[in-house]
């Protein structure tokens, strides 16, 4: 076994890594480009980099020269982000084998992932939105999945103390705060990956039970403060009255928190995980957060990288905004010329000869300026008024050309992704075709994004398997929009962690086209509107409140019984003991011994319950139930079947009795009455014509 590295050696190693990161010329150029893109996205576009001040500043111009901004970059970024995120997807977990246990475990894993997506008001979706924005602005984005032991529900230990159970969280990480090995063109190829963040000093001391005494340089994680200073430099009115000391005061109670993961090596087969708070080592273990000790080759970083414009031969990708800078500058320059020309039209330029006087005159209650001059003194020269000339139409044509160039660079030539309908009579189908054409050039970037998101989901499931050691509850939306609740533990996953994302939004892009297609299918007879199909069609069209069926109450009750059985609860199922003589179901409930009593059982629609329960019994989920639970559920289902058979037999006997009555034999017999009852022959039963 390898010898553990001391804290002093770790401190020297981390310091060397940080220094290399700070001195890397490629990293400095990347961050400068990222800041430029972010400033353009914020609308601060009249900027220039000044080497002397090592900062972005506003271009040197007179205060009278306008600097208009028509921010097309923000619109393009929002459209591209919507294009990436408007895909509906479902996480699927593929089982490790054909065994029913693995199939049920994979279904449990899918429910866990769906439940985690909905927690905390769908906070995970907001982090995905942040990742997409970082990717478009910087070209490369990161998301980190880790166990947050301060999250989750409360539990009580043996001493009566309240403890947090922890939860799996995924957070978007700023590219400015990432620590990456310069070698390797893929994340898995890099020897180490880490992050620098600012943590509250009190939180660090309380969590790790240490005293932070060392000072922090705080030079490596000031993205927000650096951005605020840049914005203040390029827009002086925004930073009026704010001094740099206010920025520094905010960092006094912060701790520079460095976390670095090292990939497995021959010396350290399980990798390493190191954490430093300022200059103090607080965690130094020989194991990565995500590694399978039974199979060390199955390891991964807790970080997941997302790329936009991949560049061959290097790790960092180009941003979406990079191609929009040039046309955006041209549009701003043309707008500036238009504003200055408009001012010249309303304010003509006046050229005065020497010895002219400008006086203010008041006449008839009005005050105005007048020019007085004497031709004898001015050598016969008179003031000259030069009215501004409107710019030629060529300037507007050039602006339209730059607008089109920006739209083409953004991959949206018809503004379809921005929600513009091409013509007044365009149908939803036509909009779908145009959107599909506009998205075709972005398909590689979109699919690359969801491949990275698939890795995020797999890491979330792996963490859930390891930290969900106590019983927890899943709350998901089931069939007919019913809320389903199920108990589980991380061990229920049974190492079924092969996650795939299935996109489900590839048919229709708009509700109008979807409604148009459904109506056409119904008119042509390709869709038969039985009650189940009718409910599905109304749900797809957004009229779920109109899809209520009179049998829904029985269907929901049957599904609730099945859901309780899946959780191991069969106490609410009505079950009777069999007839001790025949071994068959005894329908005389007054005589039979009731094992589980349900006062609502007599109101059930037995045909609906039997059909629903039969589907559940034939499912893989039922095969994973314990023998006791499955036996009780099958007995309950057989009771429904026996009642249906008895009712059918009763109807058949009544029909036979009516037929015999018509023939003159009025003998009635029912399953409830064992002996025949002979009644007088009615006159209507006497055949006529005899």
Distance CA 184, CA 168 (A): 29
C-alpha pair distances (Å), 76 with each of 127, 366, 374, 417, 624? 20, 51, 60, 9, 51
Q: Does residue 560 fall inside a structural domain? A: yes
Q: Does residue 446 fall inside a structural domain? A: yes
Based on the domain organization, do 304 and 173 belong to the same domain? yes
| Number of separate domains in the chain | 2
Based on the domain organization, do 232 and 296 belong to the same domain? yes
Q: Does residue 445 fall inside a structural domain? A: yes
The tokens of 491 are what?
């061990």
Which single residue is written with the structure tokens 């995924």?
170
- Number of Cβ atoms within 10 Å of the Cβ of 671: 12
Q: Are 247 and 228 in contact (CB under 8 A)?
A: yes
Based on the domain organization, do 453 and 602 belong to the same domain? no
Helical residues (DSSP H) of 473-618, grouped into ranges: 511-523, 531-540, 552-566, 606-617
Cα dihedral sign, 19-25-26-28: positive
Based on the domain organization, do 449 and 554 belong to the same domain? no
Q: Is 418 exposed, middle or buried (0-12, 13-18, 19+ CB in 10 A)?
A: middle
Instruction: Give the strand pairing for 47-50 and 55-58.
Output: antiparallel
DSSP 547: -
The tokens of 263 are what?
């990939």
| Residue 438 clears pLDDT 70, i.e. is over it | no
The phi, psi pair for 192, rounded to 5°, reads -155, 155
Q: Which of 17-21, 164-168, 629-633 has the lowest mean pLDDT?
A: 164-168
Based on the domain organization, do 41 and 132 belong to the same domain? yes
Q: Are 498 and 507 in contact (CB under 8 A)?
A: no
Q: Which of 69-73, 605-609, 679-683 has the lowest mean pLDDT?
A: 679-683
Among 647, 664, 681, the domain-final residue is 647
Based on the domain organization, do 484 and 626 belong to the same domain? no
Q: Does residue 238 fall inside a structural domain? A: yes
Q: Does residue 315 fall inside a structural domain? A: yes
pLDDT at 682: 42
pLDDT for 132-189, tens place per residue? 999 999 999 999 999 987 776 666 666 666 667 788 999 999 999 999 998 889 999 9
pLDDT at 586: 65
Place 448 in a pLDDT band, splitting at 50, 70 and 90: very high
Half-sphere exposure of 383 (CA within 13 A, CB side): 15
pLDDT at 675: 42
Q: Does residue 448 fall inside a structural domain? A: yes
Based on the domain organization, do 134 and 262 belong to the same domain? yes
Cα 339 to chain centroid distance, Å, stands at 43
pLDDT at 250: 63
Q: Which of 107-121, 364-378, 509-523, 663-677 has the lowest mean pLDDT?
A: 663-677
Q: Does residue 666 fall inside a structural domain? A: no
Q: What is the mean pLDDT of residues 418-439?
A: 58
Which single residue is written with the structure tokens 């306008």?
66
Based on the domain organization, do 72 and 168 belong to the same domain? yes
Based on the domain organization, do 619 and 496 belong to the same domain? no
pLDDT at 673: 41
Contacts of 250 (CB under 8 A, 6+ apart): 225
Q: What is the mean pLDDT of residues 650-658?
A: 87
Q: At CA 375, angle to CA 373 and CA 377, rounded to 5?
A: 80
| Residue 65 clears pLDDT 90, i.e. is over it | no
Q: Does residue 412 fall inside a structural domain? A: no
Distance CA 286, CA 305 (A): 24
Strands (E), 59-166: 89-94, 140-148, 154-156, 162-164
Distance CA 170, CA 122 (A): 12
Instruction: Give the strand pairing for 280-285 and 677-678.
Output: unpaired
C-alpha pair distances (Å), 327 with each of 72, 337, 438? 9, 16, 20
Contacts of 372 (CB under 8 A, 6+ apart): 356, 357, 358, 359
Contacts of 333 (CB under 8 A, 6+ apart): none
The tokens of 238 are what?
């925004």
pLDDT for 266-294, tens place per residue? 999 999 999 998 888 999 999 999 888 77
- Provide the 3-class DSSP secondary structure of residue 307: strand
Place 681 in a pLDDT band, splitting at 50, 70 and 90: very low
Based on the domain organization, do 491 and 634 belong to the same domain? no
Q: Are 606 and 640 in contact (CB under 8 A)?
A: yes
pLDDT: which is higher, 490 or 430: 490
Specify the length of the chain in residues.
690
pLDDT at 435: 66
pLDDT at 512: 64
Half-sphere exposure of 164 (CA within 13 A, CB side): 10
| Residue 454 clears pLDDT 90, i.e. is over it | yes
Which residue range forms the structural domain that includes residue 554? 550-647
Q: What is the mean pLDDT of residues 384-411?
A: 84
- Provide the 3-class DSSP secondary structure of residue 123: helix
Based on the domain organization, do 67 and 194 belong to the same domain? yes
pLDDT at 684: 38
pLDDT at 34: 94
pLDDT for 201-252, tens place per residue? 888 888 888 888 766 555 545 676 777 777 777 776 666 656 555 555 666 6
pLDDT: which is higher, 541 or 570: 570
Contacts of 430 (CB under 8 A, 6+ apart): 422
Based on the domain organization, do 497 and 572 belong to the same domain? no
Distance CA 408, CA 411 (A): 5
Distance CA 436, CA 415 (A): 13
DSSP 287: S
């Amino acid at each position: 076994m390898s010898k553990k590295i001391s804290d002093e050696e770790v401190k020297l190693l981390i310091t060397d890594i940080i220094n290399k990161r700070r001195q890397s010329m490629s990293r400095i150029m990347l961050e400068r480009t990222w800041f430029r893109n972010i400033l353009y996205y914020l609308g601060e576009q009249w900027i220039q980099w000044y080497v002397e001040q090592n900062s972005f500043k506003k271009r040197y111009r007179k205060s009278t020269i306008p600097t208009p901004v028509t921010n097309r970059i923000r619109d393009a970024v929002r459209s591209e982000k919507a294009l990436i995120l408007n895909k509906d997807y479902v996480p699927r977990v593929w089982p490790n084998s054909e065994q029913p246990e693995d199939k049920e475990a994979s279904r449990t894993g899918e429910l866990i992932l769906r439940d985690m997506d909905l927690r905390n008001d769908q906070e995970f979706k907001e982090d995905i939105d942040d990742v997409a924005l970082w990717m478009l602005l910087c070209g490369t984005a990161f998301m980190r999945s880790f166990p947050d032991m301060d999250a989750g529900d409360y539990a009580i230990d043996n001493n009566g103390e309240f403890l947090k159970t922890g939860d799996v969280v995924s957070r978007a990480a700023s590219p400015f705060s990432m620590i990456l090995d310069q070698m390797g063109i893929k994340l898995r190829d890099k020897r180490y990956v880490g992050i620098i963040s600012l943590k509250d000093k009190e939180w660090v001391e309380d969590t790790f039970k240490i005293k932070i005494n060392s000072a922090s340089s705080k030079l490596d994680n000031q993205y927000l403060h650096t951005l605020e200073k840049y914005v203040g430099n390029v827009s002086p009115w925004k930073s009026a009255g704010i001094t740099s000391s206010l920025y520094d005061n905010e960092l006094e109670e912060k701790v520079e928190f460095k976390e670095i993961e090292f990939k497995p090596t021959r010396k350290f087969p399980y990798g390493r995980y190191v954490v430093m708070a300022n200059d103090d080592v607080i965690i130094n273990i020989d194991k990565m957060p995500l590694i399978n000790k039974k199979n060390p080759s199955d390891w991964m970083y807790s970080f997941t990288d997302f790329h936009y414009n991949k560049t061959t031969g290097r790790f960092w990708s180009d941003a979406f905004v990079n191609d929009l800078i040039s046309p955006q500058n041209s549009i701003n320059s043309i707008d500036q010329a238009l504003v200055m020309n408009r001012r010249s039209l309303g304010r003509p330029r006046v050229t005065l000869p020497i010895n002219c006087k400008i006086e203010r005159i008041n006449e008839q209650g009005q005050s105005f300026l007048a020019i007085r001059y004497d031709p004898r003194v001015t050598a016969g020269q008179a003031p000259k008024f030069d009215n501004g000339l409107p710019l030629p139409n060529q300037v507007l044509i050039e602006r339209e050309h730059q607008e089109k160039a920006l739209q083409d660079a953004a991959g949206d030539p018809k503004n379809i992704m921005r929600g513009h309908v091409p013509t007044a009579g365009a149908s939803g189908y036509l909009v779908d075709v145009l959107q599909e054409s506009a998205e075709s050039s972005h398909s590689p970037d979109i699919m690359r994004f969801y491949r990275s998101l698939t890795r995020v989901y797999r890491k979330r499931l792996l963490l859930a398997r390891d930290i969900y050691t106590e019983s927890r509850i899943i709350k998901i939306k089931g069939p007919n929009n019913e809320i389903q609740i199920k108990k589980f533990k991380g061990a229920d996953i049974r190492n079924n962690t092969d996650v795939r994302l299935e996109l489900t939004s590839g048919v229709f892009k708009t509700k109008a086209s979807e409604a148009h297609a459904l109506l056409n299918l119904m008119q042509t007879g390709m869709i038969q509107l039985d009650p189940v199909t009718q409910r599905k069609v109304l749900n797809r069209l957004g009229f779920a409140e109109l899809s209520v069926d009179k049998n829904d109450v029985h269907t929901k009750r049957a599904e609730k019984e099945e859901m309780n059985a899946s959780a191991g609860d069969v106490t609410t199922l009505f079950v009777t003991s069999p007839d001790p003589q025949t071994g068959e179901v005894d329908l005389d409930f007054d005589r039979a011994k009731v094992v589980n009593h349900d006062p609502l059982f007599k109101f059930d629609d037995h045909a609906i319950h039997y059909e629903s329960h039969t589907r559940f019994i034939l499912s893989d989920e039922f095969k994973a139930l314990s023998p006791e639970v499955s036996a009780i559920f099958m007995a309950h289902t057989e009771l429904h079947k026996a009642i249906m058979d008895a009712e059918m037999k009763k109807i058949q006997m009544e029909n036979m009795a009516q037929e015999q009555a018509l023939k003159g034999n009025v003998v009635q017999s029912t399953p409830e009455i064992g002996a025949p009852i002979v009644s007088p022959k009615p006159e209507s039963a006497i055949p006529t014509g005899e």
